[in-house]
Structure 1
């Protein structure tokens, strides 16, 4: 036993030394000094990210490297972040993300080509039809809000703890409707799968990457491939059952009615037609994996942003009346069923500004990891080799007065009203959704969903934090998550 531990320790130290003694041929960014071999900056990075990175930037400038979890990672500040986002030939977000979430192991029934085509498929079949899906989105959000919130709030105020888990189910309801169809999305287990698969993948992001020393993402790959933690298995089986049900119904309907068959409008039908699927030999696991691939991208950011905005609303009740008056005016455009025309979103200017401010202060210190696709030289002459990973120092951007205006640390929800900059707009001072050619194509869908949801919440309820204080985000290293603190919700007296 002791011999094994000693031998393992020697191998670790030897491997570390071999990695460190290699002289790079590049003019690499400066590596921040550290005193403890192997551990490097991991402790400060995990437990004191904000102050640690501020000090690093002060000493080393706009681009520097740190040694965390056995890997050298380069941090890029506000001065050079646009180079990362605009050079899609040199930097890739998806490749870096796949190091953390091993989709090739989780979704083994589809190839890498299909994974890389995901943004294109969603853009062509979902995000270009926002007007078309607007009514369905609103009806789903309304019914889900009634089910998960309204049914629990009666004559007295009700305390809800960790609203994120309720919100992710509410957000998942219209996504399920648009993805797998109106019929199947009515089943609780379908909505639960859409919500829980997203939450389950988030767990992989939070697991400390102890084995990155040997290979990036190695621990998560071991967990998934060994079956110790593979959430795709359970959720795939549920989706297969419901997809099979729909495919059989659609096949029979088309055979029976021919040209008069009413085609379902959803992503499932788009995939079936695009891939010209043979109904006599349907690969149901592949169809289910395609759905699972889309879920995280469609639900995770939206749910986090919505939960943060909900908590910010509860933390700042002094702004609710002003928002309420705006939403009352907007709601005059609704039909007899309470459904707003798509154009009504443009009139929610104060709500849009509130959401943008909430997203700006999302709490992330680092975000948008990118993998270097080829050797790259920055405009200042510093260089990075292929397969290196860079992290964008978003806190450096969101806390800058020149980019954000006065008092960038303070929550000023209406600071964007007069600028007429919508929450889905990206640029050098707002990059939650990335930037450049590969900016998140679903950002408009996400913002619309949050706006429709909060529109109903503001009209129907009064909300505040249980503590009566402003509740901040929960931090996991340099990454922020919605607060789990309690929120008091009561029906608004009209």
Structure 2
């Protein structure tokens, strides 16, 4: 049943296959060019610093049954799905938080109107950066997202690793971060805070893109999500535009699941276009 469902709405659907053929046609010449340059001028060719080059250098030759172009296309489609899925997921959670706390809507709209006052262009990245309340709303929403144990790391070496607290990670063993505790613990007071305060991070130098031990949705360190600035710009643009053009109302109290299996809130909502 799941295979049948995926055939029509998933990554193997007819629509996705059609888009993959379009992508293959577009990237095919570029893949061929890069492979030729790597073969003809391995030491002198100036390699592009982008995701496609990373795929070409690290994941080719392709497995049996694939051409190089097909395999690169599959990688690109997978990355597109991952980025769109996580961005739309977090945008949805922000909207549900807004409907759970409708008192924030006037303040967000006032900020958007103030930033855009006198401007005759479509909202852009610089405008979005000026919306501190909207940014704080996104960070606070993601801080309280119901993920409790996450970001597993495995000791892939052959020797044990001793952590700063004395814990020992044996080869092949995993370490899973207590995500909930990191996001809830106030290190100044030692208390846990799970209350939703949408403007908690205004003027706190805690932008939604700023990772740290107390904010892990985008990972941490050198492996932190490199696309988080773009993802947040998309989320904030989506929320701002929707609140400007539509009225959102929760018919029932939004429900935020408290288990690992599902992180998407749900509940009946009413959406009407503003006149």
Q: What is the TM-score when the length of structure 2 is the normalising length?
A: 0.76
Structure 2 residue aligned with 1:290: 75
Structure 2 residue aligned with 1:344: 127
Question: Following the alignment from structure 2 to structure 1, what is the Cα–Cα distance between the partners of residues 189 and 118?
Answer: 33
Residue-by-residue CA offset, 1:445-492 (whole Å, 9 max, x unaligned): 11111011111012112212121x2x232244x354111312211223
Decide which of 262, 265, 271 is 2:52's aligned counterpart: 271
Structure 1 residue aligned with 2:167: 382
Matched position secondary structure for 1:434: coil
Matched position secondary structure for 1:367: strand
Structure 1 residue aligned with 2:194: 409
How far is the alpha carbon of 1:353 from its aligned partner? Answer: 0.5
Matched position secondary structure for 1:453: helix
Q: What is the TM-score when the length of structure 1 is the normalising length?
A: 0.44
How far is the alpha carbon of 1:433 from its aligned partner? Answer: 1.0
Matched position secondary structure for 2:236: helix
Alignment length, in residue pairs? 242
Matched position secondary structure for 2:52: helix
Structure 2 residue aligned with 1:90: none
Unaligned ranges ≥5, structure 1? 1-191, 198-230, 251-266
Unaligned ranges ≥5, structure 2? 1-7, 31-47, 61-66
Matched position secondary structure for 1:474: coil
Structure 1 residue aligned with 2:40: none
Decide which of 228, 253, 272 is 1:490's aligned counterpart: 272
Q: Cα 1:347–1:235, aligned 2, differ >3 Å: closer, same or farther?
A: same
Decide which of 354, 357, 371 is 2:140's aligned counterpart: 357
Question: Following the alignment from structure 2 to structure 1, what is the Cα–Cα distance between the partners of residues 153 and 187?
Answer: 25
Greater helix proportion: 1
How far is the alpha carbon of 1:248 from its aligned partner? Answer: 7.9
Question: Following the alignment from structure 1 to structure 2, what is the Cα–Cα distance between the partners of residues 343 and 361?
Answer: 27
Structure 2 residue aligned with 1:310: 95
Residue-by-residue CA offset, 1:18-68 (whole Å, 9 max, x unaligned): xxxxxxxxxxxxxxxxxxxxxxxxxxxxxxxxxxxxxxxxxxxxxxxxxxx
Q: Cα 1:395–1:248, aligned 2, differ >3 Å: closer, same or farther?
A: closer
Residue-by-residue CA offset, 1:233-269 (whole Å, 9 max, x unaligned): 867733442124435899xxxxxxxxxxxxxxxx9x9
Q: Higher RCO, 1 or 2 (CA under 8 Å, sep at least 6)?
A: 1
Q: Cα 1:416–1:491, aligned 2, differ >3 Å: closer, same or farther?
A: same
Residue-by-residue CA offset, 1:254-293 (whole Å, 9 max, x unaligned): xxxxxxxxxxxxx9x983899599xxxx633213212133
Asked if 1:372 is matched to 2:144, the reply is: no
Decide which of 420, 426, 433 is 2:205's aligned counterpart: 420
The structure with the largest alpha-carbon Rg is 1
Question: Following the alignment from structure 2 to structure 1, what is the Cα–Cα distance between the partners of residues 189 and 143?
Answer: 9
Matched position secondary structure for 1:414: coil
Q: Cα 1:407–1:395, aligned 2, differ >3 Å: closer, same or farther?
A: closer
Alignment of 1:328-343 (within 5 A): 328-332=113-117, 334-336=119-121, 339-343=122-126
The two structures, once aligned, show a CA RMSD in angstroms of 3.4
